[in-house]
Chains A and B, each alone.
Chain A
């Protein structure tokens, strides 16, 4: 028996759950997820991250700027109600004539700086104010973007972009390095960059890295590592963001296929760890799976790397919250449940074992939402939950309990987010419920002061 005592008055600060958003891989110059605008709007995310890649063709010739394709993409993001984090990965042919990911510096930095300046100036008008410098440059083109950097080169490259960004929009936020390996202080790039920025007083608004792991504790550890690292550079006050993360999708492919409840649990548990460790924001990878076609990458990714990229078509199955055909997967509904945690966080103490709770009180609605899940890397046991909601305002309340059904073949919301209990309680300030939570079970309770009329 797990006792969950939910004191409606024990609220802390705003949970601001929308900052734990999504990102989209760099696959095509089409808007990629334009058919999911309404679905993404449902999730109330604050930020969506995209790659600013060569296929947007933003700099086709010297002093020629072409924003048409990138505009489309940014407009799609804005239509979802989110803001864009634009990860700069472009390598225009006119500034980088040779196709080699080890070449970092453009042959003309003055022209490059002007390009960044013009781009930031253009997108400032559309409300874009977060710019990330490069993607997984410790892994090079294997990470999907054509830069493979040494720490010193990254820092110099970062400095150029940071100065150009701030010149175009002093209020814009600039960050990086979005390394793929954060386990050992973000390879060597991160500490070098922090030292460099600290010494030169360079603008540095957010520190980013990526993490794919089977165990959410590895994600937690990466946050602790990065926060400890930041402590060494007291001059730097910045946000922290994991701008790509998910489960280790290749190594544990069959595990997630066999147990479709694992991924939605993993997502919720990981975001819980992010909240606990004070991460500023994240971008789950990714919104929608798309089949990779090598055509548009040929000019700027080596043949050797391209020949292996086809694996995206086979191994990304567990990543997209929409699959290759645009069907919402159970992970979509995990984010939908998370999005309902609006308002101030309610702290819950003394819940032991594998069951965890994330709860919030929305003062505007006079509504409590609590997400309760039963997760462990190795299969947890079934639990009986005894829920006690107390200290609510006296009055008429409506209680609804939802269950995320990952096993149904249907994507209809009524089947995925099944309402298993619904009650009206008159003249009360508390409520109790007892229910079973299966291994990897995810349930959400909604406790709301009633409106006077119900149709």
Chain B
């Protein structure tokens, strides 16, 4: 038996849940989720991270830019209601004497800065504000982009890129290094470089794939400690994250309820540890074709990417390879309903946790309750009490996320289990069972005219 008390009068700061967003892998030059625009818009994401990669064919030669494809991608994100986080990963081959992942400095930094400057200048009026320098810079091509920074290399490259960004838009936010491994030596070295040389750093970013949400928490604490040690203040961003999709593929497929619950638990950990923003990886799976990256990635890296994307990404996309919604989509949909100020609550002991908000605009309370542990938890009996309500009539709905149904129809995935309209209420109570990895949402809406909703 787990007692959960939500006191509506105990409000904290705005939860701003939309900052825990979703990114899109750099798998194609064309927009990849333009056919899912309405569905993505429903999620009220604040950011969508986008790879600015060579396959968008921006740079056609010295001083020759073609923005057609990148425009389409940025426009698509804006039409989804989000702001792009532009991860700069392109590497025009003519700018390099030798084109391999280990050669990271362009032969003429002036030319590189001009390219970045022109790009930032172009997209600033569109409302693009976030620029990230390189992707998985500690892993190189294996992470999908053709730069592998060895010791001492990233700081200078970052500095020159950041300088161009700020020149084009002093208010833009610039950050990096989007590490594949947060314990990489590249990070402390980079932070020291920024401190010593007074290089602007608006956000520090890294990635993680792991089936244990606690591991994400540890990474945030680690990065925050490093920032503190270097007396740096900036935003923190885990802008690629998900399950260890290859290693735990079979587990994820066998228990489809694991991932939707895992992602809620992980985002809750982000909130607990004060992570500024995140991008779940990713929106839509798209089959990758190595011929599309010929001359950009080495043959081996292209092969690894093609196999990984086409055979192992099953658990990643909130839309699958055919654009079909997966249960994870509905977790984000539930999270998106947590609008307004966070209600200060206490988690019961054990595997059940909750996130609650009061949305003054709609005069409604939303409570997300889930039952997660890495090792399968047991079914829990929940006793819910909502107190501190102003006296009046309320509409109460309880939803259950059904990850097992084969239907994607909303009423089957987000099943309404209870629908009640009450009068003259100041305390609300409900009891229900929460299965292992169960995700439920409570929605309590005040009716100001003290009349029952008839429609």
Interface residues of A, Cβ cutoff 8 Å to B: 35, 37-39, 41-42, 44, 79, 81, 328, 332, 364-365, 367, 400, 408-415, 418-419, 422, 446, 448, 451, 453-455
Contact = CB atoms under 8 A, between A and B. Distances in A.
A419 B250 contact: yes
B226 interface: no
Contacts of B287: 38, 41-42
B35 A35 contact: yes
Contact of B407 (A409, A414, A419, A453): A409
Contacts of A400: 311
B32 interface: yes
Contacts of A422: 249-250
B244 interface: yes
A38 B285 CA distance: 10
Which DSSP category, helix, strand, loop or mixed, fits chain A's interface?
mixed
Interface of B: 28, 30, 32, 35, 142, 209, 244-247, 249-250, 253, 256, 284-287, 289, 299, 303-304, 306-308, 311-312, 314-315, 320-326, 406-408
B322 A411 contact: yes
Contacts of B244: 455
B408 A413 contact: no
Given A38-B32, A42-B321, A414-B314, 11 more contacts: A37-B30, A41-B287, A332-B322, A364-B299, A408-B406, A411-B322, A412-B406, A413-B285, A413-B321, A448-B307, A451-B308
Given A42-B321, A414-B320, A454-B247, A409 B406 contact: yes
A364 B324 contact: no
A451 B304 contact: yes
B307 to A, nearest CB: 6
A365 B247 contact: no
A414 B256 CA distance: 10
Contacts of B256: 414
Contacts of A328: 322, 324
B273 to A, nearest CB: 23
A446 B249 CA distance: 15
A39 B323 contact: yes
B286 to A, nearest CB: 6
B249 A365 contact: no
Nearest to A407: B406
Q: Nearest 10 pairs between A and B by C-beta?
A: A410-B406, A454-B246, A409-B406, A42-B287, A413-B320, A455-B209, A412-B324, A39-B322, A411-B324, A455-B246
A73 B266 CA distance: 44
A419 B249 contact: yes
A115 B30 CA distance: 33
Most buried by B among A37, A39, A422: A39
A38 B256 CA distance: 25
A341 to B, nearest CB: 13
A138 to B, nearest CB: 37
A453 B142 contact: yes
B32 to A, nearest CB: 7
A419 B287 CA distance: 18
